[in-house]
Chain A
Amino acid sequence: MTAPGRKAAVTSVQPRGAGASRRVFLTASAALGGGLLLHAVLPDLACAETAHRRLATARPLNAFIAIAPDGIVTIIAKNPEIGQGVKTMLPMLIAEELDVDWKDVRTEQADLDVAKYGRQFAGGSTATPLNWEPMRRVGAAGRAMLVAAAARIWGVAPSACSTAAGIVHHAASGRTLSYGVLVEKAALLPVPNLETVRLKDPKDFTIIGQPLPGVDNRSIVTGKPLFGIDVASPGMLYAVFEKCPVFGGKVGRANTDAIKRLSGVRDAFVVEGGNNPLGLVGGVAIVADSWWAASKARKQLQVTWDEGPTAEQSSAGFASAAQELAKRPPARWLRRDGDAAAAFARAARTIEAAYFYPFLAHLDLEPQNCTARVRAGKVEIWAPTQDPEGGARMVAATLRVPESNVLVHVTRVGGGFGRRLRNDYMAEAAWIARQVGRPVKLLWSRQDDIQHDFYRPAGFHFLKGGVKGDGTLVALTDHFVTFGHGDQVAASAGLGQTEFPAQFVDNLEFGMSLLPLGVPTGPLRAPGANALAFVFQSFLDELAHVAGKDPLAFHLALLGRRREPLNASAGSNPEHGLDAGRLRGVLELVAEKSGWTKRHLLPKGTGMGIASYFCHLGYFAEVVRATVVSSGTVKVDKVWVAGDIGSQIINPSNAENQVQGAVLDGIGEALGQAITIERGRVVEANFDTVPLLRIHQAPPVEVHFRITEHPPTGLGEPALPPVIPALCNAIFAATGKRIRSLPIDTTQLRRA
């Protein structure tokens, strides 16, 4: 990749007050399950104010595309924009095959309407693999209709016509017609079969592959209201909601009568709530004329809580329980290949190591919030959410109204990272708004946000590995002590049977034991991978050193034993299994770019570490160069990244930004973040005790992509996991001290 800052040829801004342009919609939308469905639907008139304006002057036709007579194309972005660039990327796919000039494109965020748009969520780095073809087919269908309309006017065959930048050409006669002129007629034509509509040869792409800036950038740098926290509704009140600091606790008594008398307060009441942390849990709502007034009143709030059984739980307790469980065989086996015990007995060298990683919070910079209005059994929601569909379902269940009565407007999202796949704040806002009979904006404080999360679960791994005399890894075992109840593993706390290096080591055992947990857990950017990469890629580095091997050579040798993609489960798409050749490819590329073979020339106290990982269909290898000073402070000097996400980098500017962000996110987690549980509650409350990475700690991150003949895949997540072990391995190279516990404890790196 080139350096950031290329001046893109085009800037695109969100249309404001679309004026009197007539727009016509073409009908073609993606169906659930990856197929495509054609239907002639009118956009839901209740959907959005912008839709109202548009429809007042135009005849609607398609779910995703509208073209005005002046040639301005409005493209609907169906998925929530959480900073991953999807509000730019999905319309790029449509615009490419529609064959329009990007400078003529405006994008609009869709409200929730799964019947019209297909699935609408932001998670799992899935937007690219799920939409790469369907969205292009939507654009191509629109193009075909415009071509057919021109061909009919001219009395020629559609195949005799071509398109470019929003204009249909008939080469034989030299005639042209613009899309803006054609759209009325095109809209009346039959919609072509999306399965068979012709797609461009990638060599003809004019939009895909261009470094295009985010479509909301201009609004953001001028401070326009785009986010959930910025929503305003006429007559709106502001709410805070105090929940029990102990997870699962209930409200006993609260001084709501005294709170109601405070300045600016309109109401204060207890919400009973239920037992499911994904929905509405109990608490005390304070509703006021301003959020500040509500927050100020909250300081006077006195609640006696029934804390419940989770009050017995603590991080320290989990650690000692895990040590006890590690002394016994795992409660269950996930995988047993070969005979590990016999292989250890024959191995030239064996090592044992215990690895630990803590609970983590998501720390979205925009705290959880939601605005809700409930009128005559109908619920209207404005929310920064990653999963509006799940939110609507949950609000409907909580308020006992039909799901069809819940309308969700998706705002821009000030950070998701997986937190907003849960919609608990949505249930709270809807409940409070119904009770007060006015629109309500609920906003959590930072402390609420940190202390009422769905945390990345902590984990304990008790590992053993053995190498032969020639340095080959012959056996590896992991007793993973994690969280769950009965047979049910807590959310995002599992270990897959195919976790690397499973299938690459002849004698391998993965076992698991569970600790009960009352703390809610959930996906954090690259769930599972963000922790497991640290454990296994660090331990493999240990084994490489035990074997007397260059860690890169050790990895390549391990991967070289298998070349074919390995399916995650029988019958799955071969693209979904680990392809050792692709992982080798990024390892070799990052080694070359980072000068891995020259690392012996680094000064004392400076080291390089390498790690690789496959997740979310993406292959990443990363090298960290770090310096550890005598105080133990770790300075990350530079990170090199090599990624393989297939045949096409859709938006190279955003791709580089995502990779750099993921790498810095991982470094921030490793250097300082942990959530501590004491007496069933979270100790940390703000950024002083849960430090996010700051600019002076952020190294340069050099990003390279290896282009391969595979369908393009997503980028939000897979660049994160390898950086944590690469950093820890670099610290080992610099100091000889092995990091087996996160966050990195710099006191153990101090030199006397």
Chain B
Amino acid sequence: MPYTIDINGVRRTVDVDGDMPLLWVLRDVLDLKGSKYGCGIGLCGACTVHLDGSPTRSCMLPISGIGLAKVVTIEGIGETPLGRRIQGAWLDIDVIQCGYCQAGQIMSAAALLARTPHPNDRDIDRAMAGTLCRCGTYPRIRAAIKKAAGLSIADTRTP
């Protein structure tokens, strides 16, 4: 059946089964392929999008459950000054290895900084622990979040 949802500020109508997860609507129906499939059960965070600003695993969110909530994806996050700043920090720090998880990392980081503009290392741990990076770019993800927040990028957890 048809569903109309607000994605990156644009209302889009799709005709799909109500149990189709948002991830697959984005990727295979709307051709927004930035959100990634990694585990399908909310363990890896590669599919993270914002639902009314909250970081949400789109692989487990049925299209029928979205209603009027506003969806923002990696393709739209650069429209906000904060999103742009985070993307810029990611480029400055040269965070990326394979890059597959990084959309999820950036979406999780954007949700963190929207809520906590000056996070400490524990805040970063808590907000980012659900988003796996198989390549192990964690030191640079941490540094990039701090840089986007205007903080020193030093790892203060050092013994």
Query: A residues within 8 Å of B by Cβ?
Result: 3-5, 7-8, 11, 81-85, 211, 213-214, 216-218, 220-227, 229-230, 232, 238, 263-264, 290-293, 296, 363-367, 412-417, 443, 445-446, 625, 637-638, 653-654, 657-658, 660-665, 668, 686-688, 692-696, 698-701
Q: Are B46 and A365 in contact (CB under 8 A)?
A: yes
Chain A residues within an 8 Å CB radius of B39? 446, 686-687
- Give the complex CA separation of A223 and B75 in angstroms: 5
Write the nearest CB–CB distance from A369 to chain B, whole angstroms. Answer: 9
Q: Known contacts A367-B37, A637-B159, A694-B129; decide if A220 and B20 are in contact (CB<8 Å).
A: no
> Scoring B residues 86 to 110 as 1 if CB is less than 8 Å from chain A, else 0, what string do you get?
0100111111111111110010000
A578 to B97 alpha-carbon distance, docked (Å): 29
A654 touches B94 (CB 8 A): yes
Quote the shortest CB–CB distance from B85 to chain A (angstroms): 11
A127 to chain B, nearest CB (A): 15
In the assembled complex, the CB of B107 is this many whole angstroms from the nearest CB of chain A, namely: 10
Contact A414 B29 (CB under 8 A): no
Main secondary structure of the interface of A (DSSP, over half): loop
Q: Is B55 an interface residue (CB 8 A)?
A: no
Task: Give the contacting residue for B98; candidates A83, A229, A443, A693; CB below 8 A.
Answer: A83
Q: Specify which chain B residues have a CB less than 8 angstroms from the CB of A412 in the assembled complex.
A: 98-99
With a 10 A CB-CB cut-off, give which of B20, B94, B103 has the most chain A CB atoms.
B94
* Residue from A3, A211, A224, A688 in contact with B154 in the complex, judged by beta carbons closer than 8 Å: A3
B35 within 8 A of A: yes
Judge if B80 is at the interface, Cβ distance under 8 Å.
no
Cα distance, A541 to B99, chains bound together (Å):
37
Bound CA–CA A84/B153 (angstroms)? 24
Q: B115-159: which residues lie under 8 A (CB-CB) from chain A?
A: 124-126, 128-144, 147, 153-155, 157-159
CA distance A693 to B28 in the complex (A): 30
* Cβ–Cβ < 8 Å partners of A84 in chain B: 97
**Least Cβ distance of A661 to chain B in Å?**
4
| Nearest neighbor of B87 in chain A, beta-carbon distance | A221
In order of increasing CB-CB distance, the 6 nearest A-B pairs are A223-B34, A83-B98, A414-B100, A664-B136, A223-B74, A661-B136
- Give Cα A683–Cα B141 distance, bound, in whole angstroms: 32
Please measure, in the bound complex, the distance between the C-alpha atom of A227 and the C-alpha atom of B27, giving whole angstroms: 12
B53: interface (CB < 8 Å): no
Q: Which residues of A contact B75 (CB under 8 A)?
A: 222-223
Contact A211 B33 (CB under 8 A): no
Q: How many A-B residue pairs lie within 8 Å, measured between CB atoms? A: 203
Given the interface pairs A443-B37, A686-B43, the reply to whether A5 lies near B143 with Cβ below 8 Å is yes
Partner of A226, one of B99, B124, B126: B99
Interface-central residue, A5, A263, A695, A698, by most chain B CB under 10 Å: A695
Question: Could you tell me the distance between the alpha carbons of A365 and B134 in the complex, rounded to whole angstroms?
Answer: 6
Residues of A within 8 A of B132 (CB): 365, 687, 692, 694
Residues of chain A lying within 8 A (CB to CB) of residue B126: 696
Find out whether the CB atom of B134 lies under 8 angstroms from the CB atom of A415: yes
A657 and B97 contacting across the interface, CB-CB below 8 Å: yes
Closest residue of B by beta carbon distance from A81: B98
- Check if B113 is an interface residue, CB within 8 A of chain A: no
Contacts of A415 in B (CB 8 A): 98, 100, 134-135
With a cutoff of 8 Å between Cβ atoms, the chain B residues found around residue A226 in the complex are 99
A449 to B155, CA, bound (A): 34
**B69: CB under 8 A from chain A?**
no
Does the CB pair A413–B98 fall under 8 Å? yes
- From A7, A364, A625, B92 is in contact (CB under 8 Å) with A7
Q: Are B20 and A365 in contact (CB under 8 A)?
A: no
Please name 5 pairs of A and B residues whose Cβ atoms are closer than 8 Å in the assembled complex, sorted by A: A217-B99, A290-B16, A665-B135, A694-B132, A695-B133
Contact B91 A660 (CB under 8 A): no
Q: Are A363 and B134 in contact (CB under 8 A)?
A: yes
B153 → chain A closest CB, angstroms = 5
Interface size on B, residues (CB 8 A): 69
Question: Which residue of chain B has the shortest Cβ distance to A225 in the bound complex?
Answer: B33
Residues B31 and A5 in contact, CB atoms below 8 Å apart: no
Q: How far is the CA of A114 from the CA of B94 in the complex (A)?
A: 31
Closest to A412 in B: B99
- Rounded to whole Å, the gap between the CB of A622 and the closest CB of chain B is 14
From A4, A225, A290, A416, contact of B140 by CB (8 A): A4
Given contacts A223-B34, A291-B28, A443-B37, contact A4 B136 (CB under 8 A): no
Once bound together, how far apart are the Cα atoms of A204 and B102, in whole Å? 35
Given A83-B97, A227-B100, the answer on whether A292 and B24 have CB atoms closer than 8 Å is: yes
Contact assessment for B135 and A230 in the assembled complex, using a CB-CB cutoff below 8 Å: no
Q: Which residue of A lies closest to B101 (CB)?
A: A365
Separation of A168 and B91 alpha carbons in the complex (Å): 32
User: What is the bound-complex CA distance between A226 and B34, given in angstroms?
Assistant: 9
With beta carbons under 8 angstroms apart, the residue of B73, B94, B159 that contacts A214 is B94
Q: How far is the CB of A490 from chain B (nearest CB, A)?
A: 25
Assess the A692–B134 pair: CB atoms within 8 A: yes
Known A4-B143, A213-B91: A695·B138 in contact at CB below 8 Å = yes
- Chain B residues positioned under 8 Å from A296 (CB to CB): 17, 19
Residue of B nearest to A211 (CB): B94
Residues of B within 8 Å of A654, CB to CB, are: 94
Q: Are B136 and A698 in contact (CB under 8 A)?
A: yes
Query: Chain A residues with Cβ under 8 A from B130's Cβ?
Result: 694
Contact pick for A222, options B87, B96, B155, CB 8 Å: B87
Question: CA separation between A527 and B24, bound complex, in Å?
Answer: 35
CB of B93 within 8 A of CB of A658, answer no
- Quote the shortest CB–CB distance from A54 to chain B (angstroms): 25
The closest CB in chain B to the CB of A446 belongs to: B39
Separation of A625 and B97 alpha carbons in the complex (Å): 26
Select which of A214, A221, A446 is within 8 A of B38 by beta carbon: A446
Q: Which of chain B's residues have a CB closer than 8 A to the CB of A263?
A: 17
Assess whether B139 is in contact with A213, with CB atoms less than 8 Å apart.
no
Asked if A224 contacts B134 (CB within 8 A), the reply is no
- CB-CB under 8 A from B143, the residues of chain A are 3-5
- A220 and B94 contacting across the interface, CB-CB below 8 Å: no
A363 to B134, CA, bound (A): 8
Residues of A within 8 A of B17 (CB): 263-264, 292-293, 296
- A415 CA to B137 CA in the complex, in Å? 12
- State A662–B136 Cα separation when bound (angstroms): 7
- Least Cβ–Cβ distance between B43 and chain A, in angstroms: 4
Say how far A625's CB is from chain B's closest CB, in angstroms.
6
User: Which one of A213, A229, A693 lies within 8 Å of B94 (CB-CB)?
Assistant: A213
CB nearest neighbor in B for A602? B159
Q: Looking across the interface, which residue of chain A has its beta carbon closest to that of B134?
A: A365
Which chain A residue lies CB-closest to B44? A687
A364 vs B46: C-alpha distance in the bound complex, in angstroms?
12
Contact A221 B90 (CB under 8 A): yes
Q: When the two chains form their complex, are residues A290 and B94 in contact, meaning their CB atoms are under 8 A apart? A: no
Which residues from B are CB-within-8-Å of A638? Answer: 158-159
Q: A211-B94, A217-B96, A688-B43 are in contact. Are A700 and B157 (CB under 8 A)?
A: yes
Complex contacts, B134 vs chain A, CB 8 Å: 363-365, 415, 417, 665, 692
**Which residue from chain B places its CB closest to the CB of A667 in the assembled complex?**
B136
Contact A292-B21, Cβ < 8 Å, known A232-B31, A657-B140: yes
* Known contacts A5-B153, A414-B36, A686-B43; is-contact A220 B102 (Cβ 8 Å): yes
Cβ contact of B158, chosen from A223, A653, A700, cutoff 8 A: A700
In the complex, chain B residues whose CB is within 8 Å of the CB of A217: 90-91, 94-96, 99
* Cβ-neighbour of B139 out of A83, A229, A413, A698 (below 8 A): A698
Contact of A661 among B91, B93, B128, B135 (CB under 8 A): B135
Judged by a CB distance under 8 angstroms, whether B32 is at the interface is yes
Given A5-B153, A292-B28, A654-B94, does the pair A660, B136 have CB atoms closer than 8 Å?
yes
